[in-house]
Chain A
Amino acid sequence: MNNSQLISDIKATAANMGEVRIMEVCGGHTNTVMRYGLRNVLPSNIKLISGPGCPVCVTSQRDIDAMIEIALAGIKVATYGDMIQVPGTKMSLADAQNLGADVKMIYSIDQILDETDRVFFAVGFETTTPMTAKLLQNGIKVFSAHKVMPPAMRVLTKEMRLDGFIDPGHVSTIIGSDVWGTMNIPLPQVISGFKPDQLLHSILLLLKLIQNKSTAIINDYPEVVFPQGNIVAQNLIKNTLKSADADWRGIGTIPLSGLTPIDAQLDARIVYANLFKNIESVENTSCRCGEIIRGLAEPKDCPLFGTVCTPQNPQGACMVSASEGACAIAYKYGKSLSEL
């Protein structure tokens, strides 16, 4: 099916529906939506709401502050590119690097696989967790801000009106498609790929499920997502990491939504606890990120947006990630998302 056919099918399907609220959970999908201008080809009654699936955005300020303290203490640290620019209470890891801290931006764990004197700031969902597991196997200390997606999705379905989920494609390559059926999420879901045609196709399938009041789960990315997922990766995770409560920036603590190293000697939160136990992490109280992340407010509703809070000096999670954060995108494009 070509894209104009997909778009006209979506329009035809949506024509006799009221307002439909679809959450694309994964930041990668949000990026596709923005990159290809998909919002303005969808009918106006289809609302795409960006979910909490930008791992950088939902990493708590307290975790970032702790990591900055570790780096400023002269301990070598490493993390993925995006994370380096995210502000903590007083500065970002990029600022710490600027002050002289040894902060290594990595693209692949291969770059630090033998650096046992470096602490890895691990962020991301199930997609990046297996790599962290590998580092732990190699005896590298990890400060884990890893999160798992389904508990957050359950919280969101209780807190806001949603009609369906576009499930994260890459997360599903690890956990598999079958497992989504066991997550107690009472809404239809379609697992989608990241090319614009794939995403539009998944939106079309989801609309049909919503129309038929079905809560089925469709794997619309079967070329890489298998029913059982990646067993090798799952075992690697099981052997090195365990469930823990996790703080989500803008949402709060969600029970058992995070992962932490099983081996306490490799858990940087425990090993370096003295370095950050007394720091105060202060989130700007006027910041409305929590509501924006949950689709309850628009960037323009926030008093800080564009004045105190800019991409150069972000106050909250939504202004953080240039390609995935709702406020950063709105600022960059000079419009709120609903106008795009």
Chain B
Amino acid sequence: MNTPKQNCLTGACPPIISRNMHTIKLSEGSGGREMQSLISEVRKRFPETSAWNNLRDDAATFPIGKEKHIVFTSDSYVVTPIFFPGGNIGKLAFCGTVNDLAVIGAAPTGLSFSCILEEGFSKDEFFEIIDTIASLSKQTGIPIVTGDTKVVERGGVGKIIINTSGIGITKHILSDPIQVGDRVIVSGGIGEHGTALLAKRFELESSIETDSKPLHEELIATGPFIKQAKDITRGGIAAILNELAEKNDAGIAVEEELIPLHDQVRALTEILGIDAYSLACEGRFVCITSPKNAEKTLSILRKFNPSASDIGKITNEKNVTIQTRYGKTLLAVPSGNIVPRIC
């Protein structure tokens, strides 16, 4: 039998790749509609538990005594490239889990750190990632308390996959009911993480760095004034606003001119034909406050990030709209993988 390669050069080889289509697709991890549908398919197969709450949120909660709740979350991290302007996969893994606890209102008390490494992965790079996590742990006072390491054969996982889980405690779970007219506030410029990765991937010159950072201090400071919060991750602000609207069975109306967008993010996404509102952040959140508390919340957030902005309000329509300088249009949930347009 000829080798497939020889055959193919003459254009005569049969297809050599299996056509079983019932497989996991990349788009099912991209933060859009497909991922949501996969998650709910998984979730509904697991039995519900009576004592745990907020099972569909960023972190689940478990009441202890009358006043407090344990908050628990877990997340896995894969990213290409693993080092990028302003950070690396370790920073994402630390901050991501801290932030999932923080948006529920919890002060994180400790994290686990597990990784799957690939044979041949540079030890220098590995320890650079570890040192990043160590310095964040020191800086925030949130310890790494347990973990696990596995090594797989070359080609198995693309250098490194990290999982972190975290536990925190809160008195006030951030899931208060919202009302029409409540304000929607974003904690800083959006899409910077996604833009930093794209710039590196496409070798475009920019000074944009990842926005990845721990958000627990911002959320603890604003906690008493806000009703709900959600960190902006994959799917960008477009996905997160739609999730918030859907979860609350409400609508959100935002104004484009109020959404903080760094000039370089605007320029690079325009060059690449990518929607900035669908780009990932790793250190930004959206929160909902009463109109009365909006100014207070904003003034606290601006101490952490001057570009924090009140971008819109809760409506009784069941969609997310964006008022541009011209007309009003819908800010839809991203679908498929986020890829550049051709022209």
Contacts and interface: CB of A to CB of B under 8 A. Distances in A.
A123 B342 CA distance: 9
A118 to B, nearest CB: 12
A69 B15 contact: yes
A36 B14 CA distance: 48
B26 to A, nearest CB: 7
A209 B330 CA distance: 32
Interface string A105-124: 10110000000000000011
Q: Is the interface of A mostly helix, strand, loop or mixed?
A: helix
Contacts of B326: 3, 7, 36-38, 41, 196, 200
Interface in B291-343: 319, 322-330, 332-333, 335-337, 339-343
Contact of B340 (A38, A107, A311, A334): A107
Contact of B341 (A81, A100, A273): A81
B17 A72 contact: yes
A340 interface: yes
Interface residues of B, number: 46
Nearest to B202: A107
Contacts of B332: 332-333
A220 interface: no
Q: Which 4 pairs from chain A and chain B are nearest by CB? A: A37-B327, A81-B339, A37-B329, A332-B332
Nearest to B13: A73
Interface stretch (B3-11, B205-213, B221-229): B3-11
A149 to B, nearest CB: 11
Given A36-B329, A41-B326, A80-B340, A274 B12 contact: yes
Contacts, number: 148
Interface SS of chain B: helix, strand, loop or mixed? loop
Given A34-B329, A94-B25, A312-B34, 15 more contacts: A36-B324, A40-B327, A73-B4, A74-B4, A80-B340, A82-B341, A91-B21, A94-B26, A95-B21, A96-B17, A98-B25, A99-B20, A100-B17, A128-B343, A333-B332
A322 B335 contact: yes
A55 B11 contact: no
Contact of A72 (B19, B272, B327, B333): B19
A180 interface: no
A101 interface: yes
A324 interface: yes
A89 to B, nearest CB: 12
B17 A101 contact: yes
Nearest to A75: B8
